[in-house]
Each structure stands twice: as C-alpha cells, then as structure tokens.
Structure 1
C-alpha cells in the first residue's frame, strides 16, 4: 500500500485540539518515506494554516517550520513538472473545476504520480469531484 496525505490530515495530525487529531495522528505516526508521501504544495499549506490559526492555537513561524520539517522527514515530498502542472489546470478548466479546488486537483495529481493506493483527506467531497481515479482512492484516516 502507498499512502498519500492531504493537507487536511497533516493539519489535524499536528493540531492537538483538532476534532480529527487522534485518527490523523495515528495515520501520520505510522507513515514512513518508503510508503507515504504528500505534495510539496501541502508543506506550504501546512505552514500557512498553522501560522494563521486564531488565538492561542496559532504557531509562530519557527514552531510551524519545525512541524513542516518533521513532515518532510517522515513523508516523501512529491512535485509536479511544469507540463504536469499545466495539464492539471487545463483539465480542471475543461471539467468545470473552479476556485480553490484547483489546489486539491494539484495535490491529487501528485498522488496519482506516485501511484498512491490511498489518499487520506478530510475533504472527501472536494477530492471525489476530481474523477473516478481519485474518488476510488480517497478515505479518511
């Protein structure tokens, strides 16, 4: 099995007061580079989310960086080539995908690139809109 982690699961795994923390953390702690990955874009989303939480939940840049570094150590980071990136944008436009869902499409393409058998996400509906190849792989941790 090859596991791919969406940003929503990474945030929940790191945020102890997140409603999905326990199950996300369990999946995250069982991950290893040889069978688990995430999109490079998710590292930026993780940093952005951790540093914009409201109130006491907000991390400093230094704290968030430690979490991102830990994630980078635990998971293989997947990137897209320019042509792959363009293909996602082109396909999304043709399929009527608009707005922020393009970021889910980019993340999903990274999962397909590494032939992930399971895509862990808390945004099931967003990913299921991206077609059958993605829909059959998505699940919550």
Structure 2
C-alpha cells in the first residue's frame, strides 16, 4: 500500500505532547520510503507551523530543518509540474474550491500523482470535499 501523509500528520509527528502524536509518529515510522510520501508544499507548511508558533511550541529554523531532513529521509517528496499544477487548480475551481482550501487540493493532487491508495490527515473534511477520487482515499490515522 502507498500512503500519503498530510501536513497535519507531519506536524503532530514532531510534537511529543500533541494530542495526535502517537498515531501520527506510528504512521510516520511504519512505512518504507517507497511506500509513503508527502507533497513538496508540506515542507513549507511544516516549517511555517513549527517556527510560527508561540511559547514553548515555537522552534528555531535550525530545529525545523532537522525535522524536514527526517521527512526527506523517510518519505518520497512529490511535486506537481506546471501543467499538473494548473490542472489541479482548474479541477478545484470546477468544484467551487476557494481560498486556502486550494493548498489541500494541491496536496491531494500530489497524492493522486504518487498513486497513493490512502491520504492520511487529521483534517478529513478539508479533503473529502475535493471530489470522489480524493474523498475515497481519505483516512484519519488510527488512534
């Protein structure tokens, strides 16, 4: 089985005190690199999330880069070329997707490109509205 990990799973993997840490890290460690992937844009989202928090949850850029290195080692990073990017936005527009939801749509299209059978996310509702092909693959990590 090929799995795609959404940014929400990756962020929960990093924080040991996160309510979804255990099922997220179990998932992160379960698969081999050729069996699991994430979207290239998730790297920026993870970096933004880790370095943009307040208080004890905020990490330095160097710490965030170490975690991004772990992601790069463990997961296949999938990106869309210009034509795929445009088609993903066009398909999203046809579904009425607007605003920041386009970023979830782009990640979902990375999952399709990678032929992922399942998209693991803690934000299922954000992905299930992206059409049947995507909705059929969405799952929350077991927890």
TM-score clears 0.5: yes
User: Residue 69 of structure 1: CA displacement?
Assistant: 0.7
Over 6 Å off, 4+ runs: none
Alpha-carbon separation, structure 2, partners of 1:29 and 1:95: 34
Question: 2:33·2:75 contact (CA, 8 Å) conserved in 1?
Answer: yes
Give RMSD over aligned pairs.
0.7
Q: State the partner residue of 1:105.
A: 105
Question: 2:5·2:121 contact (CA, 8 Å) conserved in 1?
Answer: yes
- Could you state the TM-score of these two structures normalised by the residue count of structure 1? 0.98
Deviations along 1:56-103, one digit per CA (max 9) or x if unpaired, are 110000000000010011000001010000111111122110011100
Alpha-carbon separation, structure 2, partners of 1:134 and 1:90: 15
Q: State the partner residue of 1:44.
A: 44
Alpha-carbon separation, structure 1, partners of 2:30 and 2:130: 27
Q: State the partner residue of 2:12.
A: 12
Extract unaligned runs of 5+ from structure 2. none
Could you tell which deviates more after superposition, 91-100 or 66-75? 91-100
Alpha-carbon separation, structure 2, partners of 1:31 and 1:59: 26
Extract unaligned runs of 5+ from structure 1. none
Q: State the partner residue of 1:137.
A: 137
- Could you state the TM-score of these two structures normalised by the residue count of structure 2? 0.96
User: Residue 31 of structure 1: CA displacement?
Assistant: 2.5
> After the TM superposition, which residues 46-125 of structure 1 pair with which residues of structure 2 at under 5 Å, given as runs?
46-125=46-125
SS at match of 2:37: strand
How many corresponding residue pairs?
A: 141
Alpha-carbon separation, structure 2, partners of 1:3 and 1:114: 9
